[in-house]
Amino acid sequence: EVQVLESGGGLVQPGGSLRLSCAASGFSFSSYAMSWVRQAPGKGLEWVSGISGSGGSTYFADSVKGRFTISRDNSKNTLYLQMNSLRAEDTAVYYCAKDVLEIRVTPFAFDIWGQGTLVTVSS
Amino acid sequence: QSVLTQPPSVSAAPGQKVTISCSGSSSNIGNNYVSWYQQLPGTAPKLLIYDNNKRPSGIPDRFSGSKSGTSATLGITGLRTGDEADYYCGTWDNILSAWVFGGGTKLTVL
């Protein structure tokens, strides 16, 4: 079964850091671009960051540029999101999402989503 | 303010048809492929349409997508109460070099 599973969420103080992980299984992980998408409580979806299958190309939303880093370890079938200088407005459920097409550098569409992990930034 | 504009809500009776619009610009919808997502309450989003009008396996043909110029439309026929959800459009934006979602549309099946 094709699936992704996020972990690493939790409560963190403003200005703090957190690293999210996304474990993938059931597909050739290195062949697919991956993204992080978040959803603040009661709000819509917001794309956060994306990375190509090789890891050589990365993209970020302006709201997180310079604070968040995306990476992947294809030997471990795992995607990461390193979040630094966290703010209250970063509070959200963070989803890991797989691209629908192989060998894409930029996101095309997201066909597999995890259940999400909640990040709460509060003192 | 989202880069892609969707109506906040739409409604229709069971069995009827509804359309949800998604308006953008030449930097996003006009030159890229649109996808649509359904988010049932308390669950992760689900891909309904990609490549403007293609359905992943398992998505019924009651759901359809189209694109014209800088706008896209999701159509749902034979509405059921189980279709009540939030629907989002999305695409790549060439100027932002980022993926963008619409603000979402809440569908109510009366």
pLDDT of residue A18: 98
Contact A59 B98 (CB under 8 A): yes
User: Is residue A115 predicted with pLDDT exceeding 80?
Assistant: yes
Q: Do A44 and B104 touch (CB under 8 A)?
A: yes
**pLDDT number for residue A104:** 78
Model confidence pLDDT, tens digit, residues B16-63: 999 999 999 999 999 999 999 999 999 999 999 999 999 999 999 999
Chain B CB contacts of A114 below 8 Å:
44
Q: Which residues contact A24 (CB under 8 A, 6 or more apart)?
A: A3, A4, A34, A77, A78, A79, A96, A98
The closest of A90, A70, A65, A47 to B99, measured between CA atoms, is: A47
pLDDT tens readout for residues A16-53? 999 999 999 999 999 999 999 999 999 999 999 999 99
- The pLDDT value recorded for residue B16 is 97
Q: Which of B56, B99, B102 sits opposite A50 (nearest CB)?
A: B99
pLDDT at B69 over 90: yes
Flag if B100 and A47 touch (Cβ within 8 Å).
yes
A111 touching chain B per CB within 8 A: yes
Q: Which residues, 6+ apart, have CB-to-CB distance to B44 below 8 Å? A: A95, A113, A114, A115, A116
- Which pLDDT belongs to residue A105? 81
Is pLDDT of B101 > 80? yes
Residue A36 near residue A116, CB atoms below 8 Å: no
β-strands B105-109, B98-101: how paired? unpaired
